[in-house]
Structure formats: C-alpha cells, structure tokens
Structure 1
Amino acid sequence: MVERFNEDFIETRRKALHRFLNKISEHPILSFSQHFNVFLTAQELTSHKKQGPGFLSRMGETVRSVANSVRGLKSRPEEFTFMQEYVEDFSSKICSVDKVTQRIIKEQREYLDELKQYGPVYAQWAGSEKDLGEPLKAVAGCVERCSKETEENNQHLSEVLAPALHEYILCAETLKTVMRRRDNVQAEFEAKNEALASRKGEQEELQEEVDGLSDRMEMANDALKGDWSHWKKSMRSDLRSAFISTAEKNVDYYEKN
C-alpha cells in the first residue's frame, strides 16, 4: 500500500499525524478517550471500528437539525453569541491569510524556476567571454545562492506556515459545527418546554424528555466552554510560533540576498 506513494507525500502525512496525535495527547478530555488508547495500542483496528448510525437515523438527525434551525433560538446566551461572532470573524481572516500565503508560495515557485534556468545560462556565458568572464561567474554564483535561499524560504512557508493556517481553518469549521449542535440542543429543549406547558395530559413523559435535554444542554455548554479556552490558548501559541518563525526566515532570506 505504502509503495504507491512517493516519499514526500508519506513524510507530509507522517508529520501531520504526529502533530494531530500531539494535539490529542494535550487535550484534557480527548487524551483519556478509549478510542485514542485503541488507536495507539491495537495491533489491528478492524474489530474496533465504530458502527455509524443507519441511513434513517442520520436522516432523522438532519430533519431535526433543519427544523431547529428554522424555528430558531429564543435567546442564545451572550457568551455563546460572542463565541459565534469570534469564530466567524477568525474564520474569514485566517482564510484570507491562507489565500495570500498560497499565492506567495506559487509566485516563489515560479521565481525559483526562473532562477534555476538563469544560473546555468550565466555560467555558460562566462565560459565564452574573456573580459566579462569573472563578472558573469559572479552573477551566476549570486543567482545560484538566490535560488538556494528562495527554495529554503519556500519550503519553510509550505512546511511551517501553510499547515498551521490550514489546521486552524479546519478548527474554525469544526467549532462552527459544534456551536450549531449546541444551538440545536437548546432549540429542542425550548420546544419541549413549550410542549410541556401546553400538553397537560403528557406532563410526566414530556418532563422526562425536558430534563434529559436540560442535562444535554448543560453538558454541551460546559464542554464548549472548556474547549473554547483550550482552543484559544493553543491557537494563539501555534499561530504566533508559525508567524514569528516565518518572519525570522524572511529576514534571514533578504539579508542573504
């Protein structure tokens, strides 16, 4: 199976997996997950694969989510409204930075291709010129150094900054999904509460459902608030490290060129 892929592809995936596992191991809840333990220790995973919900179950979940989104929330707590707005703004900005980064990487690769073509041309030209031989050799050497530094700088962008940006683009999308699920739980809780007030004959059965939804909503709120502080701390540390490393590499690149 592995033989189908080249070494660069395998190494990129290996680094990504290593980073992902480190993230899980640092998480206060996920690090104790039985699934994480199985992934690290099981000799084969076939017998441990979780059976996903059936088609009808998934359809039912989708229908409930759509109904809840149409119904809407009466009043989302202010702290979760702040989180929602923060994530939307963060997602927009990090996507813009990623697009700029990808454009820089593309332009640097094109520039690198040109440098690799020019270097040998100047070296060959120097061999056929008496008076201009040495200056042309110097130019060829300069182009070769620029080519080497550009390649290193581009590699740094591709291996350090770009993966960090992509990771937090995905994190932002995951957070949006988690917040939608929290809102769905709250919307379902509010709907059951309304039903409880209007249906006198089904009070006991509805009360059990309302109590269960209340517990689910409280658990969802606590989990989201706990993960929120952990995520912000991790995000600031990772992106700060990636941006500082990139800035230092750029300073070094322009000093050498």
Structure 2
Amino acid sequence: MLANNFFSMEISVAEAEKRTGKNTVNMQEIYTVYLIETRPVDALTEGITPDSLWRRYSEFELLRNYLLVTYPFVVVAPLPEKRAEIVWHKLSADNMDPDFVERRRVGLENFLHRVASHPVLCNDNIFYIFLTEVTTSELTNHLICLFFIQADSRLKAVNAAFRVKNPDGRFTELKHYSDELQTVLSQLLRVRARVADRLYGVYKVHGNYGRVFSEWSAIEKEMGDGLQSAGHHMDAYAASVDDILEEEEHYADQLKEYLFYTDALRAVCRKHELTQFELEMVALDLACKKQQKEELVTGTVRTFSLKGMTSKLFGQETAEQREAKLQVLEQQLKEGEEAVKEKNTETDEFVKTAWVDIERFKDQKDRDLKEALISYAVMQISMCKKWFNLFGCFCIFKGLSVLCHSRL
C-alpha cells in the first residue's frame, strides 16, 4: 500500500505479457511488459477510479535511476535481475522464460512496495506519475537531464574516493560491510546453486528405479502390483524435485535482493565521499585566500610562488595595487567563508538524513533475512518429513514388504 500526499492506494504488478515491436534503431524486438494496477483505499478518495498501465523493465530502471539521483541519501531498493544469475543448471537463464518472467514480475512488485512504503520516496511526484499516467514525457524529460548529472556525479565520486583526507569512519565501515555482505551472499547463493544441482541429480536418478520396477512388475504375477506401486512412487519422488527447487528459488531471490542492495549502500557512501571532498576543497581554497591576504598585508611570501618571483623581477606593487587586491581578497574570503558554512551544513544534513535511512534499512534487512532463512529451514524440514512419511513408510513398507511376503 502507498500512503502519501496524493492518496493511499494498493499497488500490484498483476501480470506480464510478451510483445513485439520496434526499438530505437527501428529493428524488430521481442520484449516483456508488466501490468501495474493501482487502487485507492482511502475513504476520502472514493471518487477516484482504479488505474492500470503497462510498463517495460527499462522504464522501471529509469525510475530507479531517477530516485538514486534525486535522493542520494536513501538506500534505494534494487530491481530484480534483468537476466538470471547464480542459478542451478536446470533453471533457464533466458529472460523470456515464463518462470523467470514470473519471478521478475514478483520482484518488480516488491520494488514498487519498497518505494511506496518508504517515508520519503512515497511522496515523490515522478513516482506518482509512473504509477498513474500512461504518457511519461515528464518522467522522460526529468531522466534525460538527470542522466548527465548522475554521470558527472559518479565521475566526481570516483575521484573523491581517492582524495578525501578526513573520511567519516562510519561510512568507511559501512562500505566495508557492504563489500563483505556482497561476498557472503554471493558465496551462499553459489553454494545453494551447487547443492541444487546435486539434489536435482539425486532425485532424477530415482526415475531409473521407477522404470526398472515397472519393467520388473510386468514379468511377476504375485508381486506385480507391489512392484508397480513402488515404481510409481519412485517416479513421483523423481518428479517432485522440480517443485522443491522452484520453491527454493523464491528464497534465493530474497537473498539476491539484498545482494543487489549492497550496491545501493555503496552509492550512499560514494555520495558522502563526494560531499566531504567538496567541503575539503572549499575549506582548502579559503585557507589559501587567507594566506594570500596575510602575505599581501605583511609583504612577505612564506612559500615559493609565482607572485614572489614576479615581485623580485619587476619590483613590489604600489600601495594602490595592494589595496585593490586586498579588497578583492576580502570579498573572496567572505564568499569562501559562506561557501564553507553552506558545505558544512550540507554535509551535516546529508549525514543526518542518510544515517536515519541506513538505520531503517538495517532494521528491514535483519527482519527480512531472518524471516527468509527461518522459512527456508522450515521448508526443508517439511520436505524431509513429507518424503520420509510418504516414500519411506508407504513405498518401502508396502511395495518391498509385498515382495518379501510373496517370496515366503
């Protein structure tokens, strides 16, 4: 549910549809669109009718990029993967595969819910337009402008990361944590994919038992029914792994969401580095201006400079020249002090708002991952109990005991 200044609404990505059309270079392409449905739930908005519109995955990407640029202090929720990664070998990595499209539909719906439930993002006008207006010219125009701002900001952030003299220890620690979390989740997902491959092989090989028992039952008269029953249960056991691993993939997607969240955490850290770098630059510029004023007033040059060499070659400046330069420096000092003050305020505000959102993210992460891991464990226990009771008690006892009884 989205609660903001516009109205309260329920949001869902109801279905996905494959379409064919022309791309930007006028070539035929096949793509998938997703139906977004919004329905007002506030009693005060009874006159508003439900909305529905289709969006491509690329439009979701535009929306998220817009949010990243506009709200650099927010840990913006990630989108589901565009193409399947870290999967067991029998799961298709084709982005047009129906199972993958369905999982991505669920992920896109989750993304919209994450944004809608965020205390800041839910009030954004572009987000509202994305949900309710078919034509997105305003959204597109915003994003074209912001693309260049974002590219320039990222370039500056990369440079700032190597030049910040006094980094904030909390953000440095957060960046290290995001790197370690990414490593741990990547390893966990890869281990899970290898285990799924092996489990798939173990289950499927039991289909050979089913075939052998069925063939055996054809040549036996007294114990044929028991052998046939054992064969059927072996076949059911072999086929059941598909549903089991598909269910497991749901929990893997939850882990992948937080794997992708690590990039959002690092984006906030990079923005802080850029802000800190800009503060240090204006502070350094102010210190240089103060030194120039001191040298101009005292007539001494403490360090080697072009000004000192010029004075030695062409003589000292006149009193009128020094006075004029002093007035210019006074104005520059005043502007520099104001710039430092503004940057200090901007940095403090960024740290304050970013850390509030980081704490919100940490609470969400702990709650979601705990729930996902517990649910995964419960699913594994349930699966073991199910097949112990069904296969162990029924197939082995009934099928093979009939075999032993008939021999006696």
TM-score, normalisation: structure 2: 0.56
**What corresponds to 2:256 in structure 1?**
166
Letter in 2 for 1:163: D
Q: Aligned pair in 2 of structure 1 residues 20, 60: CA closer, same or farther (>3 Å)?
A: closer
By how many angstroms is 1:54 displaced? 8.2
| SS of alignment partner, residue 71 of structure 1 | coil
Matches within 5 A, 1:239-250: 239-250=369-380
8 Å contact from structure 1 (residues 122, 140) kept in 2: yes
**What corresponds to 1:87 in structure 2?**
178
**What corresponds to 1:209 in structure 2?**
339
Structure with the bigger percentage of strand: 2
Q: Aligned pair in 2 of structure 1 residues 54, 138: CA closer, same or farther (>3 Å)?
A: closer
By how many angstroms is 1:167 displaced? 0.3
8 Å contact from structure 2 (residues 164, 276) kept in 1: no
8 Å contact from structure 2 (residues 217, 228) kept in 1: yes
**What corresponds to 2:356 in structure 1?**
226
**What corresponds to 1:67 in structure 2?**
159
8 Å contact from structure 1 (residues 112, 150) kept in 2: yes
Matches within 5 A, 1:46-125: 46-49=137-140, 50-53=142-145, 60-76=152-168, 78-116=169-207, 118-125=209-216
Q: Aligned pair in 2 of structure 1 residues 96, 10: CA closer, same or farther (>3 Å)?
A: closer
By how many angstroms is 1:93 displaced? 1.6
Instruction: Show structure 1 runs of 5+ residues with no match.
Output: none
Distance, in Å, in 1 between the alignment partners of 2:98 and 2:173 is 44
Q: Aligned pair in 2 of structure 1 residues 210, 128: CA closer, same or farther (>3 Å)?
A: farther
Distance, in Å, in 1 between the alignment partners of 2:198 and 2:135 is 44
TM-score, normalisation: structure 1: 0.85
**What corresponds to 1:2 in structure 2?**
18
Distance, in Å, in 2 between the alignment partners of 1:176 and 1:6 is 32
Asked if 1:127 corresponds to 2:218, the answer is yes
Instruction: Show structure 2 runs of 5+ residues with no match.
Output: 1-16, 20-29, 31-95, 291-328, 388-408
Letter in 2 for 1:187: F
Asked if 1:38 corresponds to 2:125, the answer is no
Letter in 1 for 2:279: F
**What corresponds to 2:112 in structure 1?**
21
Letter in 2 for 1:70: F
Distance, in Å, in 2 between the alignment partners of 1:95 and 1:242 is 16
Distance, in Å, in 2 between the alignment partners of 1:155 and 1:223 is 39
Instruction: Determine what percentage of the aligned residue pairs are the same residue.
Output: 22
Distance, in Å, in 1 between the alignment partners of 2:262 and 2:370 is 17
| SS of alignment partner, residue 52 of structure 1 | helix
Asked if 1:194 corresponds to 2:284, the answer is yes
Distance, in Å, in 1 between the alignment partners of 2:147 and 2:225 is 74
Asked if 1:178 corresponds to 2:194, the answer is no
Letter in 1 for 2:116: S
| SS of alignment partner, residue 162 of structure 2 | helix
| SS of alignment partner, residue 119 of structure 2 | coil
Structure with the bigger percentage of helix: 1
Distance, in Å, in 1 between the alignment partners of 2:262 and 2:384 is 33
Q: Aligned pair in 2 of structure 1 residues 173, 63: CA closer, same or farther (>3 Å)?
A: closer
Q: Aligned pair in 2 of structure 1 residues 129, 213: CA closer, same or farther (>3 Å)?
A: farther
Letter in 2 for 1:91: Q
Asked if 1:12 corresponds to 2:142, the answer is no
Letter in 1 for 2:105: R
By how many angstroms is 1:84 displaced? 3.0
Higher relative contact order, structure no. (Cα contacts within 8 Å, ≥ 6 residues apart) = 1
By how many angstroms is 1:173 displaced? 1.6
| SS of alignment partner, residue 2 of structure 1 | strand
Letter in 2 for 1:235: K
By how many angstroms is 1:120 displaced? 3.7
Distance, in Å, in 1 between the alignment partners of 2:216 and 2:186 is 45
Distance, in Å, in 2 between the alignment partners of 1:119 and 1:213 is 73
Distance, in Å, in 2 between the alignment partners of 1:20 and 1:218 is 29
